[in-house]
Chains A and B, each alone.
Chain A
């Protein structure tokens, strides 16, 4: 099968963050130190090579970028300072833009201004819509129930609409990913039952992020725990998403605290606050090599998340302390940041929430299929002469 070479590909990847790929001289140190590289999936050197050669069509079908969790050992070891870790990160950004059929992700990654304008536009539209709705039917002095400014039943419907849009994009992109990897990128047949056999991988990797924990190694710094923090952040996020999508009516009622619901909210908030502060701090302090270079989208991501968390906590406190007008206003601001954040998800780094477990799942299937393929080949020796 012929593959088309894109000589401009390496320049294109520049704007995704892979600036030093040209320096690589293929010594393989990075693959040697990587805790995740194995016989089937050898990276980062191979990915760097494909990138240097401009094999765009081959790279878009690979799973290797998703198998890397960026512990930074390769970049520390690299004799050429070609930064393989950052290259894998950039390839993940590029793959997100590649899976995205709308082309929005690509625009966001390439141009900071476009992204910020889009976020502000969506935020302003959301704000206008919510204020219009609030003032047309309710009173700003009532937080929930009859005649409320933003009644929870309305918010529930609103949430579900936004969630549906989000899910639609994600599902289409995930199918696109599956097509690229398993149909376009796998030259041999994959039996259907392997999909069932390896299905457990999806929830396993989604909830434990086991592979990330393997990256953690002894560092001189005692607060080195990105895996735990990341897991906390992710679980917090997922719990919050479930609460908001399903239990918003219970969540918004009050001022009494419903412990059986709110306890989850508090735990999730702790995860989100600790995680956000840790990652913002790391990106400022640059203790570890993986935080040395921050792409613009990384900053938008953590800053927006920080605003959401702060306003969320604020409106909760205002509601419980009886400052209902302030609580309502904060609620509007909160939603103004939540909606663009959610809608941005399929087009940003946050989409790895879906792609990573999916990649582990597909990688396991592919590995099984390959092993079967090899055993079939071995059982029928090819006699040339």
Chain B
């Protein structure tokens, strides 16, 4: 069939040399004309139909990062020229992953497939390697737990590694889930327990991947497990060691709003349910065994060994699942909200721990109280159960999200959890005024819109307008904003401000992506192979992404994706076909297969 290739490239993709691809396309069989079009103004209908008539084209290939955008004008041109409009083929560089090192070869392959009329996905199938039946899951949050259980329940070996002392991740810190207001711990802890007890799951806490070698189907992974200093098997979590420990530091699990000892259990339902020692604050370890050591003497089970050392574990796995999650951005760099300056400006995760019944105030929502610290001889602001409840609270959405200076993307969960906060505050504190400052209410999921409506009816003041400033006037915190629906500039006196802080990938994401050769997008999240078609795969064979580490998402989506990943892993284990890197496919391989399909 007489084919014409038209390049409509917008020029953002620096890896692609369009002239070289055009030269390659010109040498393909049956290609009559190759043209690089000017896109401003948009390609002219008459010009295109003239070209089609002139070269008597039977098929038109539009090549570019987003060729679909130009398809309508080509279709009309084809129709005007009297051709078959079904023969408009798209060669989409972006969709089929022409980026990174081998972007040029991939782009050429995409064009070649399009000129032959063969769908790219049919021609480009990696494969061939036998698969090891063990799976490595990096990250023990809800995504990792869900994937681990799905795969282990199918009878396959799972290694679940977690950087902190317990699995559970962020979900264990939450009080309620939106929109159903279910207790988060009631959903999560049974799953955590079954992970801890499952015979097919080997749980490695305080561990990190340090090296990955091998090829799809058989990755050799070196894991470094930091010393826990407490024997998991014999510890019964009796808390006697923590009682004698003299060191107090901020609790990570409580987002820094309460204190813990140097020997501690992150939270009572932790899995594995054993204590651990923080080597960064323990007096014994910091002084090389010269001071303290009180807990060792106290422990009735004699399970504390403060001289334990780190060790490495080598494992071989067939598939790797990335579920490394997220963290909150540092909000103190957005100076206008005065986080860290005013005591009662909280981040969302701090508030989550404050309102949680297992938190430091027992779930009472209170403002911070001033207390004199004898050691540092300074006044400190701390949460205490006897604190004064706030009379009014401002919740500010989109702090650092959808902001070109910080995170250009939407963090996706903030609207809903802020609404949930509004509900919890209204529920727990009598006669409280809650002000929600939002830009756009993103209530996108099942039952979310109804939840938002419900919160509005509960008497929360919903202000459509983003607050840009938190100040102290006459000793009272004042939040200013513009109420756009009521056409007013508003100024509310509040006792507490909760910032819906934007989410960013965990700091280890970059190192991990380098180690595994996984690409990351411009915002730092792991890149999936194709956002619509295969949202859980990466372009490395046998490596999958689940949960927040791919992009911000809420708990239902995370769980769904984690299960989908498990399906992919189990598919590769049971099919016996084997897997390979998408990125290792060469141009000639794809060309050859496309030709075979074409000739059929």
Contacts and interface: CB of A to CB of B under 8 A. Distances in A.
Contact of B482 (A25, A31, A80, A81): A31
Contacts of A27: 398, 439, 465-466
B489 A25 contact: no
Nearest to A76: B405
Contact of A32 (B398, B404, B489): B489
Contacts of B466: 27-29, 32, 79
Given A42-B487, A77-B468, A28 B482 contact: yes
Given A33-B469, A37-B489, A77-B468, A25 B336 contact: no
A220 interface: no
A141 to B, nearest CB: 62
B404 A28 contact: no
Interface string B329-365: 0000000100000000000000000000000000000
B96 interface: no
Contacts of A38: 489
A38 B489 CA distance: 7
A31 B466 CA distance: 10
A79 B405 contact: yes
Nearest to A30: B468
A79 B398 contact: yes
A28 B487 contact: no
Interface string B294-338: 000000000000000000000000000000000000000000100
Interface in B458-473: 465-469
Contacts of A80: 403-404
**Residue with the greatest number of chain B CB neighbours at <10 A, chosen from A29, A32, A33, A80:** A32
A26 B468 contact: no
Interface in A11-29: 25-29
B440 interface: yes
A45 B489 CA distance: 11
A42 B486 CA distance: 12
B454 interface: no
B490 to A, nearest CB: 9
Interface string B479-519: 01110100111000000000000000000000000000000
Interface residues of B, number: 20
A29 B439 CA distance: 10
B468 A33 contact: yes
A29 B466 CA distance: 6
B170 interface: no
A146 interface: no
Given A32-B480, A33-B468, A81-B404, A25 B487 contact: no
A136 B53 CA distance: 74
A6 B549 CA distance: 45
28 contacts: A25-B440, A26-B439, A26-B484, A27-B465, A27-B466, A28-B468, A28-B481, A28-B482, A28-B484, A29-B467, A29-B468, A30-B468, A31-B489, A32-B467, A32-B480, A32-B481, A32-B482, A33-B336, A38-B489, A39-B488, A42-B487, A45-B482, A45-B484, A77-B468, A79-B398, A79-B404, A80-B403, A81-B404
Given A28-B468, A28-B482, 9 more contacts: A29-B467, A31-B482, A33-B336, A38-B489, A39-B488, A42-B482, A77-B468, A79-B405, A81-B404
Interface of B: 336, 398, 402-405, 439-440, 465-469, 480-482, 484, 487-489
